[in-house]
Amino acid sequence: MRRVLSLTSGRIAVAVLAVVALLAVLGPLLAPHDPLATSTHTLAPASAGHWLGTDYLGRDVFSRLLAGSRISVLGSLEVALTALVAGTVPGILSVQLGRVFEWATLRLADTLVALPFLLFAVAVVALLGNGLTQAMLVTGVLVSPLFYRVARAATLAVARAPYVEAALIAGAGTGWIVRRHLWAKVLPPLAVALAQTVGTGFVIVSSLTFLGIGVQPPAPTWGGLLASDLGYLGHQPWAPVAPALLVMLTVWAANLLADALRDVSGEAGRTLLRGRAARARTAAVPSVTPTPDAHAGGAR
Amino acid sequence: MLRRGRVRGRAAAIGTALAVLLVPALSSCAGDSTAATGGHTLKWASSYFPAHWDPVVGGSGAQFRELALVYASLTRVNAKGEAVPDLARSWEYNARGDQVTFHLRPGLKFSDGQPVDANAVKAAVERAQRQKNSALFGDLTSIRSVQARGLDAVVRLTQVDYQIPQLLGERVLQIASPKAAGSPAELDRNPVGAGPFTVTQLIPGTKAVLRKNPGYWDAKNIHIDTVELTSAPDASTVVSGLRTGVYNFADLDPRQAADAKRAGLDVFTQPGFNASNISLNINKAPFDDPRVVDAVRHAIDRREFVDKLTFGYGQATDQPFPEGYVAYDPKSADRYPYDPAESRRLLKRAGHRPGDIRLTLVIPAEDPAAEIVQSQLAKVGIIVTIRIDKNWATPFFAKDLTFSLYATTGRDSALQTLTAHFGPHGPLNLSSPYEPAGFEAAVAKVRATPLSSPHYAEELQAATRAGLASRALVFTYSSPNLFAKSKAVSGLPKNPAHINWTGVTVAGAN
């Protein structure tokens, strides 16, 4: 985290995502109005009482955006964490557990990649009922090949390293090797993939809720607000801007964080930080640089 | 310099010559495309593009309007909603009122060349009564049998019923060629009727192209050569489609009405029988307590539905008929006015504190009306959770739900509307086999009253009154039959709930 925050892009990404996380936790409490309370002031423009106006049932749009952030954040986290677990564990094990397991998991990963996750999520909701949890779990599984491949590639690189073979010869167990050597190599690319998947998760949650899938009305969601606003473009052409911007900003921040994690992880990251430290030292030198005379004297 | 000037001059001359040649040529191309589709082409974006083109499977719901392009029926309705001749030029009842004979027009043929005769009528009725996937058999319980005598179809009834000419119109008995109907699955793909148009191209669920049927009995009054019927895209894009000429006629969502008017389109409503309701199952708690039902009745503010959902184009209603219609009962108007205080009192009397009653409102798709119901009932202390069930139709028509919403487009026979809603086996009565006291007797009186009788309106309104005593339905609002059209399309006849293309013209250049 220290390394990420050393980058401007990392600081921006963390700041934006922290605000979104805060909205997810405190959003419903911060909402100035009851997000479900209807009124006679329908499709009202922005005003001091309603910062983003009201919707077709007279509900405060700002309050609904705040209240809707929790579902969007939780949904995207659900996708990302499911994908992380469902992909990483078999990815590491595919190197350790022999050829049959390796072959089976590789074919499974190939199959999952071929499935369009949005359509699949729609089908699952149709089968199991309209709930975001099941849709997100399935989507997470469908996204998991990304983690599978990342974890497997990193594990393969480490598993054949001389120091691992030495540890094996010295009698170290698989668990010890995973803890001592593997995690350090696998975690950075996984962190990058995780940040990226959080962004993807936001897009998926927003897409599903835009289609009215996964959430029961009148629960507000960013995608749902966007969808309902589109029906009233003639009355409030500006209305979709706020939810669309929120989705865009969050996805952008998640991708920015992924970039920052990639930049600071591994050898490249260490080099970057060393370079920065060196530049910082160089920049600091003039303040303590002796006068030319002293320098000359010192040289002597 | 001189040479460059000559080149420029030559280029300008060539450009002018090309413009002179190409502009008329391209213009004539545009004209040709119109001519290729028949010159007078109706381009209709419909929200009710038929899922089935076999009228027996399609049922008597809103899609009948589109199917009526292809199929004619024994009767149709006039501007007053009364049955008038269509394929049948006349009809008469026997003295007892339990038999009606329809006299068909001579010399008519279906578009496959089969004759339109009493055998076709008999086949249509029997198919509607017996076909496995028929959605109409419940509408034809009054018909015992049909006897074919050349061009006379003798309809024998199970009871005295003067509603039959109203019933056997476009909604319930669109008549297909018996030969084509020999394979219902094939008919569903290639509809064959004796209506004003014949299908030349059908892309299921998406688009149909129809051409004028010169053999239609009233072909001289059909001035449209071609109909391009398209399944309407998202409501927000319909106005754009109308503005750019992709369509020249479309069903319109009230939300888009202001946009359509700003675009210079003709926005108009057709009269109809649309009525939305809250369906309650009184066989299940908490609606088995009449006080809870009354509490719901008093908790509903109908005006809110009209203002927020129809943008003022609809009407508040507590009956399944519009005010002024023959079946509308003025004596039942505002029987349960909006009175949340009274609602809370009733709930208290029934022993329910605020928050005690928790209901699940099951609906087939996202519907702002459900959110209005939820917020209105919340004000009297009833907590409603909305659940969208894509398979809603199965539990609804099996009467398994406790609490739901329904919207009807009505029926041509007012009595059919009443029995569908309030009858013991009415498909829209969620509380079957419950029926309000006195309803059956009132219905029997209406059946036995000729439509021309001076007592008909009185008897019909009495039946409406008896039906409205039902605790199973709370009517809320009537959504408008709202349409938009380009100026190229002339005005439509105001036949209630129907879209009648007789006499309608479409200017060649849409």
* Alpha-carbon gap: A58 to the closest alpha carbon of chain B (Å): 9
How is residue A287 written in tokens?
């303040």
pLDDT above 70 for B274: yes
Residues B282, B221, single domain; the answer is no
Distance from CA of A230 to the nearest CA of B (A): 7
The answer to whether A43 contacts chain B (CB < 8 Å) is no
Q: Which residue of B has its CA nearest to A217?
A: B386
The answer, yes or no, to whether residue A17 has pLDDT greater than 70, is: yes
Q: Output the pLDDT for position A285.
A: 65
A219 contacts chain B (CB < 8 A): no
Read off the amino acid at residue B76.
R
* Residue A278 at interface with chain B, using a CB cutoff of 8 Å: no
Name the minimum distance, in Å, from the CA of B40 to any CA of chain A: 31
- Tokens encoding B409: 């487009």
> At CB < 8 A and 24+ separation, what contacts does A93-97 make?
A94/A148, A94/A152, A94/A155, A95/A152, A95/A155, A95/A156, A95/A159, A96/A155, A96/A159, A96/A174
Query: Considering the domain boundaries, does residue B174 fall inside one?
Result: no
B355 in the same domain as B411? yes
Indicate whether B412 and B342 sit together in one domain. Answer: yes
Phi-psi label, residue A98: left if phi above 0, alpha if psi -120 to 50, beta otherwise = left
What residues of B are in contact with residue A216 (Cβ under 8 Å)? Answer: 385-388
Q: What does pLDDT average to over chain B?
A: 91
Say whether the peptide bond before residue B24 is cis (omega within 30 degrees of 0): no
pLDDT at position A286 = 59
In a domain? residue B152: no
Same domain, B240 and B362: no
Which SS3 state, helix, strand or coil, does residue B430 take? coil
Residue B287: domain span: 275-478
Is residue B377 located within the same domain as residue B407? yes
What does the pLDDT look like over B28-74, one tens digit per residue?
Answer: 343 333 434 447 999 999 999 999 999 999 887 889 999 999 999 99
Q: State the pLDDT at residue A222.
A: 92
CB A242 within 8 A of CB A228: no
Judged against a pLDDT cut of 70, whether residue B389 lies above it is answered with yes
Amino acid B281: pLDDT: 98
Q: Which residues of A touch B371 (CB under 8 A)?
A: 38, 57, 217-218
**In this structure, is residue B254 part of a structural domain?**
yes
Same structural domain for residues B326 and B447? yes
Co-location of B325 and B404 in the same domain: yes
- A55 to chain B: nearest residue by CA? B308
How far is the C-alpha of B150 from the C-alpha of B147, rounded, in Å?
10
Burial class (CB in 10 A: 0-12, 13-18, 19+), B416: buried
Answer yes or no: is B214 within a domain: yes
Mutate to test the interface with A, among B301, B308, B377, B385 (most CBs of A within 10 A): B308
Count how many domains chain B has: 2
Which CATH superfamily, name and number, covers A69-270?
A: MetI-like (1.10.3720.10)
pLDDT score of B379: 95
Tell me which chain A residue has its CA closest to the CA of residue B367.
A217
Cα–Cα distance, B89 to B123 (Å, whole number): 19
Q: Is residue A125 very low, low, confident or very high in pLDDT (cuts 50, 70, 90)?
A: confident
Residue A81, classified by CB atoms within 10 Å of its CB into exposed (0-12), middle (13-18) or buried (19+), is middle
For the entire predicted model, the pTM comes to 0.82
B93 belongs to a structural domain = no
Answer for the pair B273, B411: CB distance below 8 angstroms, yes or no.
yes
For B371, name the nearest residue in chain A, comparing CA atoms only.
A218
The 3-state secondary structure of B114-125, one letter per residue? CECCHHHHHHHH
Query: Where are chain A's structural domains?
Result: 69-270
Closest CA to B446 of B425, B410, B419, B412: B419
DSSP code of B239? Answer: H
B303: CATH: 3.10.105.10
Confirm whether B352 is domain-assigned.
yes
**Helix A99-114 with A61-96: angle, nearest 10 deg:** 150
In a domain, B153, yes or no: no
Class of residue B474 by CB neighbours under 10 A (exposed 0-12, middle 13-18, buried 19+) = buried
Q: Does A32 touch chain B (CB under 8 A)?
A: no
B444-498 confidence digits (pLDDT tens)? 999 999 999 999 999 999 999 999 999 999 999 999 999 999 999 999 999 999 9
CA distance linking residue B359 with residue B199, whole number of Å? 47
Number of residue pairs across A and B with CB atoms under 8 Å?
A: 58
**Residue B160 included in any domain:** no
Are B433 and B456 in the same domain? Answer: yes
Shared domain for B231 and B350, answered yes or no, is no
| Dist. CA B127–CA B9, nearest whole Å | 77
| Statement to judge: residues B312 and B254 lie in one domain | no
> Can you name the residues that pair with B210 across neighbouring β-strands?
B199, B227
Q: What's the rounded Cα separation, in Å, for the pair B400 and A50?
A: 42
The confidence band for B168, taking pLDDT boundaries of 50, 70 and 90, is: very high
- Determine the residue of chain B that is closest to A56 in CA distance: B308
Q: How far is B433 from chain A (nearest CA, A)?
A: 29
Same domain, B229 and B285: no
* DSSP string over B360-383: EEEESS--HHHHHHHHHHHTTT-E
- Using the Cβ of A51 and the Cβ atoms of chain B, whether some distance falls under 8 Å is answered with no
Interface with chain A: mutation pick from B375, B379, B383, B392, highest number of A CBs within 10 Å: B375
Confidence at residue B17, expressed as pLDDT on a 0 to 100 scale: 47
Whichever domain contains B34, its CATH number is 3.40.190.10
B255·A232 Cβ contact <8 A:
yes
